[in-house]
Amino acid sequence: MKRWRWVRYLFWVVITIIWVSPLLITFFTSMKSLDELLQTWWLPPRTWHPENFPQAWSNGKMGRYILNSFIITVPSLVGTLFLSSMGAFALSSYRFRFAVPILLVFVAGMLVPFQMLMIPVYRFSLNVGIYDSYLGVILFHIAFQLGFCTFFLRNFMKTLPLSLFEAAKVDGARDFAIYWRIALPLVKPALAALATLEFTWIWNDYLWALVLIQTDRFKPVTLGITVLQGQWIAQWNLIAAGSLLAAAPPVLMFLLFQRYFIEGLTMGAIKE
Amino acid sequence: MRTKWWVPYAFLALPLLAYSVWVIKPIVETFIISFTNWDGISKTFEFTGWENFKFLFQDHAFHIALLNNVKWLLGFTAVAVPIGLALAMLFNRQGVLANVCKSLIYLPMTLAFVVRAQMWSWILEPRHGVLNTFLSAIGLGALARPWLADPTLVTYALIAVALWGQIAYAMVLFLAGMKHVPLELVEAASVDGATAWQRFWYVILPMLRPAMVIAITISIIDSLRAFDIVYVMTRGGPFGSSNVLANYMYIQAFHNYRMGRGAAIAVIQFVITFSMISFYLRWVMREERGRGS
């Protein structure tokens, strides 16, 4: 039995190393000089060139793109959590005629292929003058993520004891106060899970930025990398450094709040 | 909870307004645009009936995109789901080493598709790329290929890139499902002399049914959504050989300014997605009822 355990450990480590090898290779690539890059392949660099990172940051404007990503991601995240928690509160705490149809609309919307929305959202943004601005992408993210977030939070709020709200009501609390002071604090773990997940999704969005943003100054980091690729043809070391910079915030988020991230992925999917 | 009739609607007003403007109305509009010849710039357009759909059914590039989506679908359901399940079985333990390994395997999921595409473009690069140089170094140089430039290989290469994260996703779902498998049951089967395979096949797998349903549904949806990896790594090339519906739609609508045609592709994608999901769910329900009786 003991021998088997070591075999299993070995198996784990080998699989994991194979699994993360693309990441390791990217890290090595980001630390190499261009000359070395064309000679050796997957090996660690012989001479380390960390200056690739500042170069990608300033010459490649990754710093600016990362700032743009934060400018887009943070308000989108706050907005969608606020709106979806209000919706979820109404759908889970009150009995009213359209509760089920409204929930179904949110769920169906989250399954629709993005392509169904692309042309009209582009046209709408152009018509109301929010095309090619932070606001256009932010408002879209807030609205589009509502489907998943409302569904997710409703399922969670459904497990809260209604008697708690009723007691507050008897004490004269207003509906909004019940939502804000009682319901929200009780669903903090679900909000945390949702926030980690949504941060990653919005940060990593490429398609909607591609459709709704044109000017370089407003581009988030996902578009920024492809700009970099066009500028530095075959300078894979700098592109690798830029990609790692772009990946850092969501990876950090994942490492810090891993439990929430995984809970979010599975709670959203499994609770029905 | 009792309250005035309008209170729930007051809470729902803003979310529903936002959802109507950016999700529901666009869905309706896409259906309408798919029957027009709108070019994305002109103020006016004409209704052309089924013209866009007729065009697509005869369009070779569309056929390739559709066929490639079938390959993506098979890759995600027939490869990612079983491997994800196998990895979940393998790593279904606690302890520091198991947890560290699991985190590292999950890590690719948190990377943007664009970042993953960048990494793999370098690995698959034909002359200096890691994969080909590695193959020559271990004496398998004959297997080296221009992975992204060979029309017969490129879609499989792109699917492989996507599987990197998709397998991890399936693994997460199965590991969560395994928390609901009572250990006593597995032990009881073991005491009764069931082999490891029998325990898996007759005890664990049936209990993972909910996780399986979700993993397959998510794989179907994700495979039909594939866009970023294709667009960033190949733009659908060489010669349209790696196109998928999502990518072809974007190119028709935003590169060629054929919004009507693009909308028609989106509508076809929509119909395929919902029929796949409903077929699958209906099949699951029927199986479930079969069991009950």
Question: Does the beta carbon of B287 lie under 8 angstroms from any beta carbon of chain A?
Answer: no
Q: Do A119 and B112 touch (CB under 8 A)?
A: no
The count of other CB atoms within 10 Å of the CB of residue B234 is 22
Please tell me the predicted confidence (pLDDT) of residue A35: 82
Among B residues 150-189, those touching chain A with beta carbons less than 8 Å apart: 164, 169, 172-173, 176-177
d(CA A1, nearest CA chain B) in Å = 14
- Average pLDDT over chain A reads 89
**R_g over Cα of chain B:** 24
Looking at CA atoms only, how far is residue B279 from chain A in angstroms?
A: 15
Which residues does chain B have with pLDDT short of 70? 288, 290-293
| Structural domains of chain B, ranges and CATH numbers in brackets | 47-292 (1.10.3720.10)
Q: What's residue B293's pLDDT? A: 42
Give Cα A21 to chain centroid, integer Å.
23
pLDDT confidence band for A22 (50 / 70 / 90): very high
Residue B214, pLDDT score: 87
Closest residue on chain A to B173 (Cα):
A266
Compute the C-alpha angle B154/A219/B19, nearest 5°. Answer: 90
pLDDT tens sequence across A50-87 = 888 998 898 888 999 999 999 999 999 999 999 999 99
Helices B81-91 + B209-225 axis angle, to 10: 130
Q: What is the structure's pLDDT at A271?
A: 42
Is residue B227 less than 8 Å (CB to CB) from chain A? yes
Q: Smallest Cα–Cα separation from A222: which of B23, B147, B106, B231?
A: B231
How far apart, in whole angstroms, are the C-alpha atoms of residue A181 and residue A149?
20
Return the DSSP state at A174.
Answer: -
Whole-angstrom Cα distance, residue B283 to residue B213?
Answer: 10
Q: Mind telling me how many Å the CA of A112 is from chain B's nearest CA? A: 7
Instruction: Indicate yes or no: CB of A144 within 8 angstroms of CB of B22.
Output: yes
What mean pLDDT is predicted for residues A246-267? 88
| Residue with token string 């089920």 | A100
Task: Decide if pLDDT at A97 tops 90.
Answer: no
The answer to whether B78 contacts chain A (CB < 8 Å) is no
Q: What burial letters (b/e) apply to A219-245, b meaning 16+ CB within 10 Å?
A: bbbbbbbbbbbeebeebbbbbbbbbbb
All structural domains of chain A, each given as residue ranges with its CATH number in brackets, are 54-270 (1.10.3720.10)
3-state secondary structure (DSSP) of residue A73: helix
What pLDDT is stored for residue B251 in this prediction?
Answer: 94
Counted across chains A and B, CB pairs separated by less than 8 A come out at: 267
For residue B36, what are the β-bridge partners?
A: B47
Taking an 8 Å cut-off on Cβ atoms, the answer to whether B30 and A117 are in contact is yes
d(CA A48, nearest CA chain B) in Å: 19
Structure tokens at B151: 């029309």
Strand partners, B47: B36
* Distance in Å, alpha carbon of B55 to nearest chain A alpha carbon: 19
8 Å CB contact between A146 and A81: no
Helix H or strand E segment including A96: none
pTM over 0.80: yes
Q: Chain B partners of A99 at a C-beta cutoff of 8 Å?
A: 8
CA separation for the pair B277, B261 (Å, rounded) = 25
Answer yes or no: is pLDDT of A272 > 60.
no
DSSP chain B: ----TTHHHHHHHHHHHHHIIIIIHHHHHHHHHTTB---SS-S---B-TTHHHHHHHH-HHHHHHHHHHHHHHHIIIIIIHHHHHHHHHHH---SHHHHHHHHHHHHHHHS-HHHHHHHHHHHT-TTT-HHHHHHHHTT-GGG---TTT-TTTHHHHHHHHHHHHHHHHHHHHHHHHHTTS-HHHHHHHHHTT--HHHIIIIIIHHHTHHHHHHHHHHHHHHHHH--HHHHHHTTT-STTTT--HHHHHHIIIIIS--HHHHHHHHHHHHHHHHHHHHHHHHHHHHHHHHHH-
Spatial separation of the C-alpha atoms in residues A144 and A110, rounded to whole Å: 8
Cα–Cα distance for residue pair A102/A108, rounded to 1 Å:
10
B residues 110..129 contacting A (CB < 8 A): 110-115, 118-120, 122-123, 125, 128
Q: Do A9 and B108 touch (CB under 8 A)?
A: no
| CA dist., res. B118 & res. B122, Å (int) | 7
Q: Which tokens hold the place of B85?
A: 């399940």
